[in-house]
Amino acid sequence: MIASTSGSPSGWNTTRLTTLAEVLEVLLDLKGRRWLCRGQPVAFGNLQPGIDRALVGRPRLEKLDFERSSIDFLRQTVRYYAAPGERHAMSDDFVALMVLQHYGFRTRLLDWSGSAYVAAHFAVTDESLDHETSDAELWSFDEPQYEIAGREQWDKWPETKNSNGQFDAGLTAFLVDEPPDWVIAAFYSTDEFPRQFAQNGAYTVTARFERDHADALQNLFGSESVDHCRRYVIDHALKPELRRTLRESHGIWRGSLFPDTAGAVATAALVLERQFKIRSTVKRGP
């Protein structure tokens, strides 16, 4: 029996999970529903992007400058050696932000996964071990229903549509003046990016900065958000057991989610640092 549901700081209904059986029941249910999921190793109660945490309170123009500088720097430095799946970042600003976000850069995006099991891994795996005694959280929302509600929001703002009547994020996302308050969810557009493919990665993006993505999604779903948005708090005592179960029963661990040379080296460093009790200084990834 899953624990009772109550309100959370974000306004999403929250269920506390205190046994491994409860967690596995939820993960199986989410898999069948085809919901997008995000795991966080601490129960923050909000979904704040990295750029807003780093540049909290800074004006929109400064954050736009930070974004543009990061995109330009990415293109200048990887132009000649980007992997095939990363080359879309050379011409599409949002793809560039996706690549930056995936490698741990601070952007307005948040990482999600089409796999509840992958999201659960990131919820219970804090490689620094700083949050091993903190409860984790698993956020999830109804991706099929999002596809309906997401399309409906564009009718509110004709300025978000191109000449073909299709939504174009670039028309309003980078405006200096405050843009329409939209939120989108998107998968990466290619399977030639091994990490993205392994993690079944997706992203949420808002036009405005200082926008809690939990609030934005709840606002998108409106009065029906109670049926389409769920947050689960995972008791910290379950973290070691759940990590073991995800690896042994589902093949999900750091090595399977970062299937490239950089990922393999970082994974080896992590394993050996712990084995030989070396304080870690290696960048772990997102």
Give me the count of residues in the chain.
Answer: 286
User: Two tokens at 157?
Assistant: 């703002």
Per-residue pLDDT of the chain (286 residues; tens, 9 = 90+): 455 455 566 689 999 999 999 999 999 999 999 999 999 999 999 999 999 999 999 999 999 999 999 999 999 998 888 888 888 899 999 999 999 998 889 999 999 999 999 999 999 998 777 889 999 999 999 999 999 999 899 989 999 999 998 999 999 999 999 999 999 999 987 778 888 899 999 999 999 999 999 999 999 999 999 999 999 999 999 999 999 999 999 999 999 999 988 888 888 888 888 888 887 655 544 4
CA distances from 141 to 52, 77, 80, 180, 263 (A): 22, 36, 38, 22, 29
Q: What is the largest CA-CA distance in the chain?
A: 60
pLDDT at position 285: 44
pLDDT at position 112: 98
pLDDT at position 9: 64
Does the residue 284 lie in any domain? no
Strands (E), the chain: 5-6, 14-17, 36-40, 110-113, 136-141, 183-187, 201-206, 229-234
Does the residue 283 lie in any domain? no
pLDDT at position 270: 83
pLDDT at position 198: 93
The dihedral built from the CA positions of residue 87, 89, 91 and 92, taken in this order, carries a sign that is positive
Does the residue 200 lie in any domain? yes
pLDDT at position 68: 97
pLDDT at position 189: 76
Instruction: For residues 83 and 266, give the distance between their C-alpha atoms in angstroms, rounded to a whole number.
Output: 18
pLDDT at position 10: 67
pTM: 0.91
Counting the structural domains of the chain, the total is: 1
Does the residue 173 lie in any domain? yes
Strands (E), 18-80: 36-40
* CA 243 and chain centroid, separation: 19
The domain containing residue 269 runs over which residues? 5-275
Instruction: For residues 10 and 14, give the distance between their C-alpha atoms in angstroms, rounded to a whole number.
Output: 9
